[in-house]
Amino acid sequence: MNIERGGLYLDATLGRGGHTRLILQSYSDVKVLAIDRDEDALTGTQAALTEDERARLVLWRGNFADYDGEDGQFNGIIADLGVSSPQLDQSDRGFSFRQEAPLDMRMDQSQSFNAADIINHWEEKELADLFYNYGEERLSRRIAKQIVQKRPFYSTTQLAETVYHCAPPSYRHGKIHPATRVFQALRLMVNQELESLDKFLEIAPRWLKVGGRIAIISFHSLEDRRVKYGFREHPLLSVVTKKPLIPGEDEQKSNPRSRSAKLRIAQRIDI
């Protein structure tokens, strides 16, 4: 990101604060504005920082697509898309099917709409279209039919078990659990993640100073395609990474959740 002395940077997805901490530690006069929808992320990061780092950090709670930034405000922007590790690890948040939890999946817990509303109330065709378009799930119609027949659903494990038995035996023992794509689709819809990303890709480049860089990490093809073409087609950006940067073997071993990460970078140009 070419961090500069005295620069102001935007961490659009604070999470557990790893990127924000590294930016603040680059130089003693660097400042960060950090955004997250999750109140736990904001309070947790503050507690982990030093007094000096907290003094150079401004927090903003909300969706990054709703932030009203100024033209030329930031020296750089970073966004790490999707669900954070703390959200996955908190069983009661319902993002993972590895342990039993309510069908929630809300990043912003102040909103009322959650995954249970979709699973238990949407029509069969709506569910099938969601799983196919947001999860790229080829068994979407079969899964949607079973869900409608067996609902109501109350827990993540109950839903995952139903999806698992919809899959043929060869599909059950692949690299990923058969319910992975269904859970991805639900999470994206509950939090309106793709719609927010589309808006962010359109407005965020204006917030950069000329020469400033925007870096976005995505974790599945639906996001990566949007970032790729969003960078390529935006009139204010020049693509820095012709191909996405991916984690090496050592990083994947130390952090298995990084294995699907793709990083793309673009730079603000003067037109």
The tens digit of pLDDT for each residue in 224-251 reads 999 999 999 999 999 999 999 999 999 9
H helices, E strands: number in the chain: 13, 7
* Position 258 confidence tier, pLDDT thresholds 50, 70, 90: confident
Contact 129, 119 (CB under 8 A): no
Of 64, 58, 25, 47, the residue nearest 198 (C-alpha):
64
The tens digit of pLDDT for each residue in 189-210 reads 999 999 999 999 999 999 999 9
**The pLDDT value given to residue 84:** 65
Name the pTM for this structure: 0.90
The tens digit of pLDDT for each residue in 36-72 reads 998 888 888 888 899 999 999 999 999 999 999 999 9
Q: What percent of the chain has pLDDT over 70?
A: 96
The tens digit of pLDDT for each residue in 135-163 reads 999 999 999 999 999 999 999 999 999 99
In whole angstroms, what is the distance from residue 44 CA to residue 84 CA?
Answer: 13
Worst-scoring range by mean pLDDT, 15-19, 168-172, 238-242?
Answer: 168-172
**Longest pairwise C-alpha distance within the chain:** 60
Q: Which residue has the tokens 């997250």?
A: 36
